[in-house]
Structure 1
Amino acid sequence: MLQETLVKDWLVETLPYEVMWLDETGKLLYANEKFRNRLGYNKAELLKLSIFDINPTVTQESWAKHWATVKREQTYYFKGSHKSKSGKFYEVEVFTQFFSNNRNNIICAIVNDISHSSFYKSLMDSTQDIANVGGWKLNLQDGSIIATTEALKIFNAEDSEALTPANIIHQFKDPEKIKNLLRGVMRTSAAYDEVLETKGHPSKFIRAVAKPVLKGDKVYKIVGVYQDITERQLKENNLQLFKEVIDNVEDLIYVFNRKGELIHYSVSVMNQLGYSKKQLESITIFKLDPTITEKWWKEHFNEIVDKGLLRFEWLALKTDGTKFPVEISANHLRYNGEDYNCAVIRNVTERKKRDLKLYEALEEIKSLKERLEHENEYLQEEISDKINADNIVCKSEIYSKVLEQVHLVAPTDTTVLITGESGTGKELLASAIHTNSLGKNRALIKVNCATLPKELIESELFGHKKGAFTGAVTDKVGKFTLADGGTIFLDEIGEMPIDLQSKLLRVLQEGEFDELGGTRTIKVDVRVIAATNRKLEDMIKEGTFREDLYYRLNVFPIYNIPLRERKEDIPLLAQFFLEKFSSKAGKAFKRLSKKTVDALMAYNYPGNIRELENLIERAVIVENGTTLNTGSWMPTTSGPIKTAELLTFEEAQKQHIIEVLKRTDGKVSGVNGAAGILDMNAKTLFAKMKKLGIEKQTVFKS
């Protein structure tokens, strides 16, 4: 009997399976060595455990149901998970049998570790409908992950740890998106199938698929697939780009086969002809244009195939029955062994209207001859284009006195302060002074103090060393250094911050300054010309401008008179601007009509020369011909200027920037942004907007 018992024990211990016995409470009564070794416990330790220690997913309620099932069925087979002493989970298949011996009821369980084979079988089952590449499985019980070789190759990873949620999110350009996807599948069982782009050069497009594996209502593992679809995605992106291009052109684009069936079309076909998408799904050329016969289409198609390209004019038909003239370019395409007609159709209604107007204009030439001759008599009068070498247009006696001051001071190195209203051409006077100065062969450096952010003016004028402040990643040479031996023009000097004026005063008095972050004093020989449209005397009283700086700048003051006080120059200036903008716009304007000159002379120009220049530029754009006549571009008000209606320089700047922002729908930088229109650096414009208190709600409040 003893011998028989020993043989039975030996047989159980040497079985190629893990064996355990449990009682009705779930307590372990016996476990063979193979089972103990797999879990990592010794015999004494194991006999202190229960099924709830080995499989933490089992509850008292589920164990009671399981015991009843095995007792009823006598034998029972199922799959589950076991937890080792180290805390690792692994897949098992279990064959159980119910025994009753001397009123002692037990379950004998034969356990087989199937974690390895189970993963690949599960992977195949889960991914066969999407792609058998790059599989992975994440065990949420212990955080362990296993992955196929293909999955590691996709991410150039050496082991599966690189694919854990904490690591894999950093592989993608949008880590937040993959993080949210993984969080969703873990917490709410939300499976996903997304295309994501990786980091790196070149990047990859990865199809990421994952679905949860549930035990009851809890997710205890996730099975997923990664598939490299870069080549396919790039092709799709290119196709989408081409489609976007086609759909956004104004021209109508059709693709017909030999039978006349519509194969493809641009969105403009629906927009311009009035068809719905459903109507175009099965339409033919014969329904689009009932005037086309099958015989004509056959001959037309054969001609396209023979010549490759045909151009002709036609009348296109809308769904409401109206027609409009078009120009058609019909191209032969061959794809997959079939011939197609790709027709590009351009609406030429406006061109036809222009042609008709041109014909009517030619018919009226005789009636206009007398009028043109009359205007020529005026235009043939000698106009003294007294445009000096400094590109300043002038024939008025009053403005010649201003130019005399320019020529008097130019040869000296005296500091000059140019005052006057905005738009009077103060910068031109500064250029004229420099051009006639001893330093004319050196640079004229121009700085607009109003457009520079307060924080950057000092750096812009005097330069800085690398690391002098946040963002100073390299050395910067200041404008005074660049102007050494030449001239610096400080436009809108009244906008210079009060705390920086002392540094400017030092340059004027001593000819020296210190760079930001520098360790040595820099000596320069610079002629300073300043300009402003503000009353600096008032600013001195307000404490916003230094009195000593004002007297250093006001050594030789020049007041640039407004255009309304030198009206004799308006015809000359207008003709100058007409020739300038006609050349740039490719227009044929040669002269101004007498009526136009009279109208220009009658206006007071609160915006001075700049306003006149803008008027002529606008006129060149909207008018045509060789003689500029009056039109909608002319200002509607005249009479004496009202000082109360004038804006300050800052108010005018603010108003102009807001108008530009309205046209760009609030867009500041980038293509068609306000910065480009204003010819300013985007950062500079942002700073200027902040200074002037311009915000989106300011721009769009009305």
Structure 2
Amino acid sequence: MEIGLVKEWLLDVLPYEVFWATESGKLVYGNLKFCERVGYKSSELTKLTIFDINTTVTPESWQMHWDGLKKNKQDSFQAIHKKKTGAFYEVEVFAQFFSNNRKEMVCAIMNDISSSSFYKSLINNVESIAKVGGWKLNLQDGSLIVTKEAFSMFGIHNKEAFHPSKMLQYFKDEAGFRNGFIQTTRKGLPLDVVFETKETPSRFIRTILKPILKGDKVFEVIGVYQDVTEQTKKETKLNFFKNVIDNAEDLVFVYSRSGKLLEYSNSVANTLGYSKSKLNQATIFELDTGVTKEWWEAHFAEIIEKRSVQMEWILTKKDGTRFPVDIVANYMHYEGQDINCAVVRDITKRKERDLKLYQALEEIKFLKNRLEDENEYLKEEISGKINANNIVCKSDVYEKVLAQVKLVAPTDTTVLITGESGTGKELLASALHDNSLRKNRPLIKVNCATLPKELIESELFGHKKGAFTGAVADKVGKFTLADEGTIFLDEIGEMPIDLQAKLLRVLQEGEFDELGGTKTIKVNVRVIAATNRRLEDMIKEGSFREDLYYRLNVFPIYNIPLRGRKEDIPLLAQFFLEKYSAKAGKSFKRLSKKTINGLLAYDFPGNIRELENLIERAVILENGTTLHAGSWLPTNNNMVNNTNFLTFEAVQRQHIIKILQHTNGKVSGRGGAAEVLQMNAKTLFAKMKKLGIEKHTTFTG
């Protein structure tokens, strides 16, 4: 047999669909399984292109895909393929790039996932598709809908007798049925339990309750009754077949929902090399270290849902030897507990030729799922902390700032937000993310000023176990967590100079190296940075890289201080009044005119943060429905309430601001603030920086 025929035969016996394509998209080969699936003969297939098989692909997207594969060598994704008949089906694709004798090709290996997608769709639409044995109770008006099959199952002919409060009399465990219904209606907890009837002979009825919520209240309960008598009887006979199982060549595992190994065949001990004393105390997590508790819970839920799940896996023996297996996991309910009975067959011989590919696919799939789980968890954790309220504003000058946000938000452009402390730069960053195309991905926030210098690199880029003293486990960095999303680097001016080069590499190349890692990580992250410092001055001092500054300052947004948007002070004060009145259990509804005038007359050197703290303090001190001016209200005078004096720095700050207002913001040169104050311009700049005064601020009276 010729070498080419041998290779073609090897591809034809693979359990996957395989085709090869050129850069133009022309199909040059398809194995037997692929031809059978799409319905073309091999002679017909070579006359087609990828655009005939995947109708969503365009010449532009195919070229981008080709270039990406040529660079990265491999990729995995899901797609929809079209048969010759015009029918569509879903596939999971693993693509690799090959170059041999100057011939470049893409090899695509596919696995049909249409069935799993169908069952998922069926489950999600069970109420409209599978009405058998079903009912629906409206808790608001007490109306009840029952299917004919449900009536027939219990021999009931009227809806009143089918109400759950009356149905409990049909089951031996009345208390369990009652408690389950209460948990569903009051706490919104679903129920899926098999109850035994009181009749003779008794039957076993699977009872499923699904709460439908409006907000946090249950307003409907959807129920399904399923007669599982025969299945339950079969499960009770498991002990009779124990001897048969023990003599089977296949490996049989019986696990509890917690992962405890309850029973096993003799072949398990013989094949894996564990003693029976070890197996009697073992869990799934000890026998297979690749199984996490999260994966196991999801897998068990799928088994309960589908009753039987088939999959391929890699098992590890006690001596570390690994081998491929085919697993059929079956759900059973025995002696009051949920059980996973897994029948495992060694498929080493069938997998000898593609074992390396199989292992690579499983490793990629496992790492991908783990990273997605971590990203999803972090996204949910962060979403609960972000202030969901809109930015409070009515001033024309701040509307211009928000117009800038609206303009740049839909793009992937890097944004640098500047402004004094307390002006709400973080809210602007959230608004940029929430109005971007990345809003469904995480917004990861990092405050560079709060992180110790020795830990900031690990926090941003992650590290491997043992990379440095104290690195007892792998850590995923913030840039990895923000992949396909946005990262907000607050107080960017505090980033150590020796780390700025690594940040610049991420901005320019979209890649970085973990501490202790051996391979480069690529990410697609939008960067938003913020600072209350003058980065231009830091560049002159040598504490900030000039090239990093220009890479960050692509689209600058200056966040106006509160004294520059005084029209917003009453709105903000009312917002904080309502917020802290609710927290303190007080009844404030409005601010008095005198209070508003007092707030408008104050310069708020601490900006919005100072206003918020001021209102919170006032709510604690005062009472009533209207917040009147009191001792808590500050002024710009040298004395506050005739007892407290302004600090020397506060006096200096106010005086410099007034001079700058007089010179229209001009600092140096003829007619500048330095000349008026009879100071050296450099000395004035240093003093302004220390006092948090931005020279480019538009000062208002």
TM range (shorter): 0.3 to 0.5
**TM-score with structure 2 setting the length:** 0.36
Q: Which has the larger radius of gyration?
A: 1
